[in-house]
Amino acid sequence: MTSVPTPIPSRTQFVLEAIKHRILSGDLRPGQPLVETELAGEFGVSKTPVREALKTLAGTGLVAMSQYKGAAVRTVDAAMAREVYDVRLLLEPEALRRTVHRGAPLDTAREALERADAAEDAAERALANREFHRTLYSACGNPLLGRLLDEVRDQAALVSAVAWAADPSWAREAAEHQEILRLALAGDADGAADALHRHIASFVQRAFPSEGGLK
C-alpha cells in the first residue's frame, strides 16, 4: 500500500517558503548561519516550525545541518555544482525530447520567459526561469523522471543564484531559452534537446571556469 505524505503544517510551510525565497534570492548567502531563535523571532513563530522547515530544506539540499554548528545555508562550490548539473545533463534534455515528441503544450514556458524578461529583481527572474525549465520536462510523460528533476531544482537554483551574483548572465541565458523554446515549438525534439544540453553545460563552464565546467 502506498503511503500518503504527511502534510506540512501551515506555519512550517510559511517559514519554509520564506527561508527558501531568501536563499534563492541571495538575501541569505551560502555558509550563513540559520539560527532558530532569530528566525522564530523574525517570523513571529515558535522554534518548532523553524526547526521543521530547516530539516525539510536540508532534505532538498539548500541547507546544511551539523550536530555541533547547527544549520547554515549550503555552501556552493564547483564540486557541488558539477554534481547537480551532471544530473540535469543526464535527465533534462531527454525529458524535453519526450515532451516534444508527445506534442505537449508549452504555453506555460512562453509565459515564464515573458515574466523573466519583465522581472524587476533577481528573485522574480529566477523563479520564472525555474518555471520555464520545469515546463520543459514536467510533461515528458514519465512522472518519476519529472520528480527526479524536481528534486534537484532547488540546488540548481542555489548554484545559479551564487553564479549570477558574481557574474550576471541573464541576457545570454534568455537568448538560449528563446532558442530552446523555438526548436521545441517547431517540433524539433533532437534540436531542442541538444540546445538544452549546451545551455546547461555552458552555465557551469562560465560560472566555474577554473574547474573546467561540465562535459
Q: Which domain holds residue 141?
A: 78-211
Cβ atoms < 10 Å from Cβ of 33: 11
**pTM score of the predicted model:** 0.78
Residues 97 and 118 grouped into a single domain: yes
Q: 154, 20 in Cβ contact below 8 A?
A: yes
Residues 113 and 181 grouped into a single domain: yes
Residues 85 and 188 grouped into a single domain: yes
pLDDT value of residue 167: 67
Number of domains in the chain: 2
Phi/psi region, residue 187 (left: phi>0; alpha: psi -120 to 50; beta: rest), is left
Residues 87 and 69 grouped into a single domain: no
Percent of the chain's residues with pLDDT above 90: 54
Last residue of a domain, one of 46, 73, 100: 73
Residues 63 and 98 grouped into a single domain: no
What pLDDT digit, counting tens, does each position of 157-179 carry? 888 877 776 666 677 888 999 99
Note whether residue 162 is domain-resident: yes
Residues 86 and 44 grouped into a single domain: no
